[in-house]
A and B are shown apart, each in its own frame.
Chain A
Amino acid sequence: MSTVAKELPTTGSPTLQVRRPGRGTKGTALLVGPPIAFLALILALWYLVSALLGRLSFLLPAPHRIFTEGFFDARVAGDIGNAIVQTLLVSLAGLAVAIVIGVVWAVAMSQARAIERTLYPYAVILQCIPILALVPLIGFWFGQEFFARMIVSVLIALFPMVSNTLFGLQGVERSQRELFKLQGASRWTVLTKLQLPAALPAMFAGMRISAGLAVVGAIVGDFFFRRGTPGIGSLISNYTARLQGPQLFAAILAAALLGVAIFALFGWLTKAAVGKWYEPATN
């Protein structure tokens, strides 16, 4: 997006300056000011409730304790760091598998109506069934470690990849297809030189959603499967069981940051991959 301030047409009084927030220093203040004020309000309330809780304050430890007893404690920080790395590995593995399966699945469906009719219902079923109901079965089959957690992550992350890729592959304009058809292009050529590149923006949009879901899947897997290196989900349940409030909040905050980081990473990847040429239709 352009960072150049747009001159708005001034109608009537030439001294009337219309300014949009988000442009210039004053605009930046307007943009980040309110959320920060809101955060301050939340923190104040937090401190208040925490103080009122007295001996029960482990339920809601004062914000600074998340750091003093959480992140700044070498052992806790080490545990959280290791767990986050483990969860990140599971999520990335799950996401990678979901991307591969999702793209292959969607490409297969895009090649023939019959294949689409045969396979699409399963994509919908995958979306409809509560994956959580399957999780114990996954542990039953695949054990309680990395592999089982990755499967949970794949199952939860798969659908957006399938549906977005299919949407992108089928969204190619008719005239563009015909341009290829007129030159007698093969299916493979149409797929690789037209459909897949055209589908990239949709695929990246799907990837962004799937990435977030893959993290959710990895954490869900942690809750159920307790063998092997613990992930952030295992750590969260441990801290909860031991009533370690500050540590629990630190772990939750770390999980949240992981989600945000992954989302931002894929936002950036999208921009890097298709931002140069892609023009969203709502322009």
Chain B
Amino acid sequence: MTLSTPTRSPAAPPTGTALLDFRDVAMQFPNGTIALSGVDLTVERGEFVTVVGPSGCGKSTLLRIASGLEKASAGTASVATSRIGYVFQDATLLPWRDVESNVELLAELNGRSKKDRAAKAADAIELVGLTGFEKHLPKQLSGGMRMRTSLARSLTLDPELFLFDEPFGALDEITRERLNDELIRLFAEQQFGGLFITHSVSEAVYLSTKVVVMSGRPGRIVDVFEVPFDMPRDPDVRYTGEFAELVGKVSHALREGHS
């Protein structure tokens, strides 16, 4: 493992303003599977953290603990906000609801008034660029549009902490890049704390302010890279030498952690 990379963050103590603060978090499932061990991770407001790691290393488990769907079996996992957006790998739209009412769902479950949630939904739909598709049913949408709908749905919560579990994994390259840019725009506008899981190293580097590399199961954090490029990111940064170099370093760390 290379610890000498200049961009690697020192194991700085959390400043206390962290939205998400994991200390020595471990996860053992009742069946004995150990999915995570000794994970220290913080996400601050205005930080976009991406996690890369081999399949099955516990990345989804990490998000599930952060969201409260699962309880860590050891360590402390504190989350400083209740406004958590969670974007699943598939869009998880309700097929009998049109775009508008899918986007309204979470506000509806939270007991917001009809007028309130309609306004929220309209804003969110506009933010993700789906204006004009309000009355479309999920089956009439492309994969990318479904994902946008799912994003819009989470946006109605005004999340302070935004969790993404490989949201664009099933999309084609072009759609994925476009959605990456939209996500960056949303991030720049809303300044939430982001925790994003992906299999794609270049997506990780492009999106985030910090890339966390995990080892194979049980998942441990083997490396952390600060990403120096400006936010909101210039799409052309992807074609620079520095970008390629960082992608190389992350890939390298990923390969080492894997073996």
Contacts and interface: CB of A to CB of B under 8 A. Distances in A.
Nearest to A279: B139
Interface in B61-85: 67-69, 84
Interface of A: 173, 175-176, 178-185, 189, 193-194, 197-198, 200, 274, 276-279
Which are the 10 A-B pairs with shortest beta-carbon distances? Answer: A183-B109, A277-B96, A175-B88, A279-B139, A175-B92, A277-B95, A277-B137, A197-B96, A185-B109, A176-B92
Nearest to B92: A175
Contacts of B67: 182
Given A175-B88, A194-B94, A183 B110 contact: yes
Contacts of B92: 173, 175-176, 179
Interface string B118-149: 00000000000000000001110000000000
Q: Interface SS of chain A: helix, strand, loop or mixed?
A: helix
B49 to A, nearest CB: 20
Contacts of A194: 94
Contacts of B110: 183
B86 interface: yes
Given A176-B94, A178-B86, A279-B139, 20 more contacts: A175-B89, A175-B90, A176-B92, A178-B69, A179-B105, A179-B106, A180-B109, A182-B67, A182-B84, A183-B106, A183-B110, A184-B109, A193-B109, A197-B96, A200-B96, A277-B95, A277-B96, A277-B137, A277-B139, A278-B95
Residue of B67, B90, B109, B137 most packed against chain A (CB within 10 A) = B109
22 contacts: A173-B90, A173-B92, A175-B88, A175-B89, A176-B92, A178-B69, A178-B86, A178-B88, A179-B92, A182-B67, A183-B106, A184-B109, A185-B109, A194-B94, A198-B94, A200-B96, A276-B137, A277-B95, A277-B137, A277-B138, A278-B95, A279-B139
A200 B96 CA distance: 10
A196 B214 CA distance: 40
A193 B105 CA distance: 10
Contacts of B84: 182
A178 B90 CA distance: 13
Interface residues of B, number: 19
A176 to B, nearest CB: 5
Contacts of B105: 179
A193 B109 CA distance: 9
Contacts of B68: 182
Contacts of B88: 175, 178-179
Contacts of B89: 175
Contacts of B137: 276-277
Nearest to B90: A175
A180 B69 CA distance: 11
Contacts of A173: 90, 92
A29 to B, nearest CB: 33
Contacts of B95: 277-279
Contacts of A175: 88-90, 92
Contacts of A197: 94, 96
Contacts of B106: 179, 183
Contacts of A278: 95-96
A189 B109 contact: yes
Nearest to B93: A176
A182 B92 CA distance: 13
A278 B109 CA distance: 23
Contacts of A185: 109
A109 B68 CA distance: 27
B153 to A, nearest CB: 9
Interface in B93-116: 94-96, 105-106, 109-110
A36 B89 CA distance: 51
Nearest to B140: A277
A276 B136 CA distance: 11
Given A175-B88, A276-B137, A277-B138, A182 B69 contact: yes
B109 to A, nearest CB: 4
Contacts of A274: 96
A180 B94 CA distance: 11
A278 B69 CA distance: 29
A175 B110 CA distance: 18
